[in-house]
Amino acid sequence: MDPTDAEEKVKPCLETMPKLAMNIILSGLEMKSILSLQRSSPNFYYFITHTLPDYKLQSIRVDVNSERAQLILTCCDVPHPITIQYQETENGCLVIAGARKKILEDTQYQKVFLEDFARIMSHQKSPLMEFEWSSETFPDELKAHFKSRRFPLVAKRTVLKSSDPTDFMHIVPYICPNHLKELLLHNYSDTTNKTAMEITPMKALRLWRTVDTLEICGFEVEIPIQELLHFTGVNVSIATVLARDLLFLKETFLLKENFKHFLINYRTLLEKETINQIFGFPHIAGTSNKGSFHPLTNAPKIMLYVFYSCTYAQFSVLNGFN
């Protein structure tokens, strides 16, 4: 054999690189580049499918309604989010990504979307800044995905929206408590009637003690106020709040500097005179809302600001007062 022919047969290229070299190359690529390489040849397709290199996404947001599903992905090196939309057509599923459109015949859009979502989640190895899922109820495939994960989801901020409060405990236990700072649980339905939410199972999780901000909107929880004071940020609704509860919160926050905000909504209508006795003469007086300032006990230049009405009270700190 001619030596030149032998050299040509073993000429190095991406496809003949050893596994270690390929992993190093893939570790420097972001999602779009990995996908482009995966489509370039069968060898790359099988290698990437097997090794699942990190997409290095910053955020994954999902919005699902009765007509379509939408994936919004934020990449480290891409200035604008990547939006992928899935919707039903007469022939099957229409997938829209930017200016590109593709019809997958004889396929339900929910199936295509959930498969793509599971694949993206399997590729995501680095911590997310934000994960968000929003749908009327959580599909069984989503619950099964989180339950079967080898490692918990790592995200700094998690937003979950559902009309069924029991959905949350199918996801929250599988979030890494070491990284989660903000947990937001919202009612997907736009309704003023708040559904009761059982909070006891969540209190048993380690992240209940480690997360900084807890926000539960559109649901009503039954919990002693004292069990919420370790959070630096709170937004909750509680059925019954007594005058002594508000007085306790005021006295507690006058001694604390390391909290951001504490918003409590309640169904019990407290008399204006009672509230004014608790918070003093209002410095800001609207038709239904009032606000008052109180210097912190140990830091007079920092003010406790209370914005309140007969159905809610919000506590926050303001710096820089002379």
| pLDDT tens figures, 147-192 | 999 899 999 999 999 999 999 999 999 999 999 999 999 999 977 7
Confidence band, pLDDT 50/70/90 cuts, at residue 7: very low
75 within some domain: yes
What value does the mean pLDDT take over residues 198-221? 96
pTM for this predicted structure: 0.87
> 276 or 226, which is more confident?
226
Number of domains observed in the structure of the chain: 2
Lowest mean pLDDT among 131-140, 213-222, 304-313: 304-313
112 within some domain: yes
Cα separation, 131 vs 159, in Å, equals 6
Same domain, 80 and 45: no
| pLDDT tens figures, 54-63 | 899 999 999 9
Q: What is the pLDDT of residue 11?
A: 53
What value does the mean pLDDT take over residues 193-201? 91
With a cut of 90, say whether residue 99 has pLDDT above it. no
Cα separation, 168 vs 297, in Å, equals 39
Same domain, 115 and 94: yes
287 within some domain: no
| pLDDT tens figures, 275-314 | 888 988 777 777 678 899 999 988 878 889 999 888 899 9
31 within some domain: yes
Cα separation, 155 vs 157, in Å, equals 6
191 within some domain: no
24 within some domain: yes
Beta-bridge partner residues of 160: 133, 185
4 within some domain: no
CA angle 121, 125, 128 (to 5 degrees): 80
> 300 or 143, which is more confident?
143
> 17 or 50, which is more confident?
50
Cα separation, 4 vs 11, in Å, equals 10
Cα separation, 322 vs 319, in Å, equals 9
Question: Domain ends where: 103, 126, 149?
Answer: 126
Domain range holding 107? 58-126
